[in-house]
Amino acid sequence: MSASAAGALVQVQELMRDWADARRLPFGIPVPKTAVPVTAMGFAAIPAAFGTQVLVVTYQARPAWYALLTGIVLQFAGTGPAPRPGDVRYVIDIDRPLGDTVSGYDEKDYAAVPFLLGSQVTGPIWPVEFHHENGETVRIKATAVANMGHGAGNFFVAALVGYEWPKQGFEG
């Protein structure tokens, strides 16, 4: 192979690598061209009584599809005082309906988040890397613990964002 042909091949390989890198997430996970964006957003009124858990948002992965959730938002909106660290507890779990303490499991490191994370308005969405497939249901639940607005006019707000695609076998 001539030097010019080898140089052209290297240029093409670099270009292909650049294209592939453009379809990678910050953590390095490749996102195939068949991926479609997914977003699940929700809100729930904060109960008047502290200590009551409420379901804020639910996302279910499609059967035979792979879902890669890449960002979350855990926020408060309302007329009362915003929660300080420790005044709220968010839980992100998988296949555990509200009120059930036995089935399913918690998302690693997100079993008891005591503060707000990410924003859809003033800042970036909090980056995560949650892998799900085959009908798994991801839920964000929240509990007002103390010293925050509760009752009428106060809401927990949450979102899950990412990608999903037909399972191709490389996902792991």
Q: Is the pTM of this model over 0.85?
A: no
Which domain does 69 fall in, by range?
33-166
Structure tokens at 13: 């390989």
Sign of CA dihedral 98, 99, 101, 102: negative
Percent of the chain with pLDDT over 90: 57
Query: Please, which contacts does 22-26 make with residues 24 or more away whose CB atoms are closer than 8 Å?
Result: 25/68, 25/70, 25/129, 26/127
Nearest to 110 by CA among 102, 118, 119, 120: 118
**Are 141 and 58 found together in one domain?**
yes
pLDDT in tens, 70-101: 899 999 999 999 999 999 999 999 999 998 98
Average pLDDT over residues 105-115: 95
Q: Is residue 44 part of a domain?
A: yes
CATH code assigned at 85:
2.60.120
**Are 63 and 9 found together in one domain?**
no
pLDDT in tens, 115-127: 999 887 777 889 9
**Are 41 and 91 found together in one domain?**
yes
Give one word for 56, left, alpha or beta, with left for phi > 0 and alpha for psi -120 to 50. Answer: alpha
**Number of separate domains in the chain:** 2
pLDDT in tens, 137-160: 999 999 999 999 888 899 999 999
Rounded Cα gap, residues 113 and 107, in angstroms:
11
Identify residue 86 by its one-letter amino acid code: G
Q: Note whether 94 and 107 are within 8 A (CB).
A: yes
**Are 79 and 10 found together in one domain?**
no
Q: Which residue has the tokens 């420790």?
A: 86
Q: Is residue 172 part of a domain?
A: no
Strand order in the sheet with 65-78: 36-45, 154-166, 65-78, 126-133
Question: How many other CB atoms are there within 10 angstroms of residue 148's CB atom?
Answer: 18
